[in-house]
Amino acid sequence: MNPRHHPASDWLLALGAGTLDEAQAAVVAAHAEWCPDCRAKVDCAEAIGGAMLASLPPSAMSAGAFARFLQRMAAADNLREQGSAAPLNGFAHSGLPLSLAKIVPHGIDVLPWKRLAPGVRGVRLPIHSRHGIQLCLFEAEPGAVFDSHTHGGSEMSLVLRGAYHVNGLRFGPGDSEDSEPGSRHMAVADPEEGCLCVAFIEGANRPDGILARLLQPFKGL
């Protein structure tokens, strides 16, 4: 089933542009792996990037650049590829979207999970964000209640397995929830399945809430 809750198009534009922070790109790309409509928007963003590249004024390459290039080309000539590209989208053996599987290549069971609240655990993923944006997984048992957001800045969560409910809406696999800074709400994990989610958190500096507690022990690392 295709996701019903999508990232706003400005996120998909920036994913195609290649200017999202690594943490943001992981979440938005994971959604796009699920969602053909959003992939189509990313394709459009790439076409815009192509048009922009063609429109840029040229900058002179240094003298001899092409000659040096030819030397490297000769050395690499036996590496030319034939045939068509194997598509990389789809899901890794771990059941995670590829954009996350490459960050946690050994699966999520080996990660140093921390208990955050009754029935809720979380872990910060090892990425090196350019802008100090955190990428976290959290998992809630069926029926667990969690304060899903602390909101110092932009955040987005994406359901990987199961579902959660908030304000009468159900967020299932592939659904993303884009939260504006300043909002805050409680979510309830699905009573049957619980949920596994990934989220990026920008400016996670509020002292309250689960995610702040999750992030606290990592400060200064």
Q: Identify residues 94-113 at the interface with another protein (CB under 8 A).
A: 98-99, 101-102, 105
Stretch that binds another protein, among 11-19, 107-115, 184-192, 205-213 (CB under 8 A): 11-19
Count the residues of the shown chain that bind another protein, applying the rule CB under 8 A: 76
Residue closer to another protein, measured from CB, 34 or 138: 34
Return the residue of 27, 28, 32, 158 that touches another protein, per CB under 8 A.
32
Q: Which two tokens stand for residue 18?
A: 């290649």
Asked if 19 is part of the footprint of another protein (rule: CB under 8 A), the reply reads yes
Return the residue of 24, 134, 176, 179 that touches another protein, per CB under 8 A.
24
Q: Which of residues 139-178 bind another protein (CB under 8 A)?
A: 153-154
Phi, psi of 199 (to 5 degrees): -145, 145
Vertex 98: Cα angle to 205 and 26 (nearest 5) = 25
Nearest residue to 17 (alpha-carbon basis) of 216, 9, 186, 141: 9
Phi, psi of 136 (to 5 degrees): -130, 150
176-200: b or e for each residue (b if 16 or more CB lie within 10 Å)? bbbbeeeeeeebbbbeebbbbbbbb
Q: Which of residues 40-99 bind another protein (CB under 8 A)?
A: 40-62, 65-66, 68-70, 72-73, 76-77, 79-85, 87-89, 98-99
